[in-house]
Structure 1
Amino acid sequence: MLNRVILIGRLTKDPELRYTPAGVAVTQFTLAVDRPFTSQGGEREADFIPVVTWRQLAETCANYLRKGRLTAVEGRIQVRNYENNEGKRVYVTEVIADNVRFLESNRDGGGSGGQAPREESSFGGGNRGNNNYSRNNSNQDPFSDDGKPIDISDDDLPF
């Protein structure tokens, strides 16, 4: 069985960060994803997809994502249900993200707040590794400095 989804879209509002009673961070936001076709009236339509992130990824998203930012999300679709105050069963479909990629920097696409990670920064869980350590020097030996200190700008750090 396979349950994987990859989305690219823009945030409809700033992420909402909360903590569970056990102290686990959870962030919710909605991604507006354009449909690949236009309506009969020639207008572009979009789907508004709820996304949930957990733990460190949730805190990172809350710190750096802002309304309007172009973002890629990778995760799984989850359907849950609960009984509301009126006794009706409510079904919720959402994407549980395990990898979020910021596709534009704070300077590129609006947003406010603290400094954003560099363009195409990637954050997520698992042991995937991140090959974005150096866009311009991807063919050079990353250990060529022979143990000398590396000059890294604060803009390059995700925290």
Structure 2
Amino acid sequence: MINRTILVGRLTRDPELRKTGTGKSVVNFTIACNRQFGNRDEADFISCVAWNQTADFMANYLTKGALVGLEGRIQTGSYEDRETGKVIYTTDVIVDTLQALESRSQREQGSPQPQSYARPQNTYQDPAPKFAMDPEPSSPMDDEPVLDITSDDLPF
């Protein structure tokens, strides 16, 4: 079975570092990932959890709006709401690796607006040059005899 996910998105708020009773670092955070819906852009808000050194890194170096790439696994769970007694179901990405995809200075210079989560226009251009095909390619095998094989000749 495979349970892997790769996400690229922007942090929706500043990471808040917490410590467990055993001293482990943990950060619960949400990233906004763009997707196109018809002719407009929308964002999915995905809950994530980072532990230990990853959590420490996020708390020390990342802020709201930071562009991050992460890899992890999806984990579901549930808990009972103390006030209402209802069972609440959760789905989170447990982060294995996380990378900041832009420096703090890049983020400040570009002054992204994390509230809008606008997707940049596709500006990709194919760098491969276009070549005309040689109508009769020459090959050392041109002098070889051609084998005439039909599907009835094959053993499978």
Q: TM-score, normalised by structure 2?
A: 0.66
Residues 133-148 of structure 1: pairs in structure 2 closer than 5 A: none
Matched residue SS, 2:108:
coil
Secondary structure class of the residue paired with 2:2 = coil
CA distance, structure 2, for counterparts of residue 107 and residue 19 of structure 1: 29
Paired AA for residue 68 in structure 1? G
Q: Secondary structure at the match of 1:61?
A: helix
- How far is 1:64 from its partner? 0.9
Which ranges of 4 or more aligned residues in structure 1 deviate by more than 2 Å?
Answer: none
Residue type at the aligned position of 2:68: T
List runs of 5+ in structure 1 lacking aligned partners: 112-159
TM-fit CA distance, 1:110? 3.1
Identify the structure with the greater helix proportion: 2
Q: Which residue of 1 aligns with 2:37?
A: 38
Within 1, Cα distance between the matches of 2:55 and 2:11? Answer: 15
Q: How does 1:6-85 map to 2 (within 5 A)?
A: 6-35=6-35, 37-39=36-38, 42-85=39-82
Q: Structure 2: which 5+ residue stretches go unaligned?
A: 110-156
The structural deviation recorded for 1:43 is 2.5
Q: Which residue of 2 aligns with 1:88?
A: 86
Q: Give per-residue Cα distances to partners, 1:21-59, cap 9 Å, x unaligned.
A: 111110111100001x234xx321010001100011111
Larger Rg: 2
The residue identity in structure 2 corresponding to 1:18 is R
Q: Distance in 1 between matches of 2:26 and 2:98?
A: 14
Amino acid at match of 1:83: E
Letter aligned with residue 38 of structure 1: F
**Against the structure 1 CA distance between its residues 59 and 6, is the aligned structure 2 distance closer, same or farther, given a 3 Å change threshold?**
same
Q: How many residues align?
A: 108
3-state DSSP of counterpart to 2:54? helix
Shift of residue 65 of structure 1?
1.2
* 1:12 maps to amino acid: T
Q: Match for 1:97 among 95, 98, 106? A: 95
Q: Distance in 2 between matches of 1:110 and 1:80?
A: 37
Q: Is the 8 A contact 1:68 1:110 kept in 2?
A: no
2:76 maps to a residue whose letter is V
Structure 1, residues 63-118: CA drift from partner, whole Å, max 9, x if none? 1111111100100000010111121100110100010011000001139xxxxxxx
Matched letter for residue 21 of structure 2: P
TM-score, normalised on structure 1? 0.65
Pairwise CA RMSD of aligned residues? Answer: 1.4
